Chain A
Amino acid sequence: MSLDLKTKREISRQAITDAIPLEIPAIPFGLVLGLVITESGIDYLVGWSSSPLIFGGAAQLTLISLLGSGSAWAAAVAAGLVVNARHVMYSAALAPTFQHQPRWFRWLGPYTLLDQVFALVTIRPDEEPAAFRRYYLTAGAMFWSFWMVTVALGLVIGPVVPTEWNLGFAVPLMFVGLIVVGINKWPKVVAALVAAGVTYVFAGLPNKVGLLVGAVVGVLAGYLIEVNRR
């Protein structure tokens, strides 16, 4: 069933209005990423290409920071992939909705399946496939274009910022914020603390491999607590 023009406009307008408040917090995030690219020693254009190719701020930040800090290629890639592994959950949650969608959209949709897009579409009631598709695509396109521009701006601003400000510290700090905001049950606190502790203990391992050891042990700790308290 196709939508009439008025309905189409209304859905698009709604998607744009919903997306804007979620895009504002992405501004400093994108600027920091641009800055980190300029300080990593990676070619600007190559660094920026992570925006269209990966399209996920936390993984981009992780990968570029680790590559720039002399971490081994494989460790940096593994860390970037692990950071984005949470999207598997989004994919699983939306799979039933996408079953009623045309094939091209099932392939294109996941490309813009950000945390924010997931949050927006899951709080919407079940709607007609064409309406869902229009909403999803409008919001996705908004986030996409916004992110490309913000990261590019960061690249321009990056070299102007004095290195003494040590803005690279913004990255672990922002991650602390993301961890705390994402915690909705205490086993997650344990998972975070164990992961940090183990990574600290294995800090001396070459190429920051301790990061992966810490992450795996942290997930395991949270999982065991969760399973045992049920």
Chain B
Amino acid sequence: MSAFLAILVVGIGTYASRAIFIVALAGRQIPGRVLTALDFVAPAVLSALVIALLIDDSGNVSIGWPEASAFAVGLGTAYKTRSHIWTLAVGMAVYWVVRALI
């Protein structure tokens, strides 16, 4: 039930973030500074998430050779293809191969 509540809260917050200017502040200007800062939200949050998802129960970041190689190749793939789906496909392949080898 607490998971459902979490989903509900994020759902309401997500709708609010999508609706805020369209519904409530249609006529107002957003301060330029706020827009500048908002622009960095996606890369910063996603990047922090990548690390956070690799933290194990004892509070250490667990990155072995399979993860490190997959990230390195994934970065290259993303840069070349501009596609997160190719990143996923190639990165996972590298991850499995390196894990099988060591």
Contact = CB atoms under 8 A, between A and B. Distances in A.
B43 A188 contact: yes
A227 B33 CA distance: 9
B54 interface: yes
Interface stretch (A122-130, A145-153, A172-180): A172-180
Interface in A168-194: 168-183, 187-189, 191-194
A28 B41 contact: no
A6 interface: no
A132 interface: no
Contacts of A194: 44
Contact of B46 (A46, A88, A179, A223): A179
A77 B4 CA distance: 11
A195 B23 contact: no
B38 interface: yes
A211 B40 CA distance: 15
Do most interface residues of chain B lie in helix, strand or loop, or is the interface mixed?
helix
B102 interface: no
Given A77-B10, A176-B91, A196 B20 contact: no
B38 A83 contact: no
Interface residues of A, number: 101
Contacts of B44: 191-192, 194-195, 214-219, 221-222
Nearest to B1: A46
A91 B17 contact: yes
Nearest to A183: B43
A5 interface: no
Interface of A: 25, 28-29, 32, 42-43, 46-47, 49-50, 53-56, 58-59, 62-63, 65-67, 69-70, 73, 76-77, 79-92, 94-96, 98-99, 106-107, 109-111, 113, 165-183, 187-189, 191-196, 198-200, 203-206, 208, 210-212, 214-219, 221-223, 226-227
Interface of B: 2-4, 6-11, 13-15, 17-23, 25-27, 30, 33, 35-55, 57, 59-61, 67, 70-71, 74-75, 77-79, 82-89, 91-92, 95-96
10 contacts: A55-B14, A106-B26, A172-B50, A173-B70, A175-B47, A177-B83, A192-B46, A203-B60, A210-B51, A218-B44
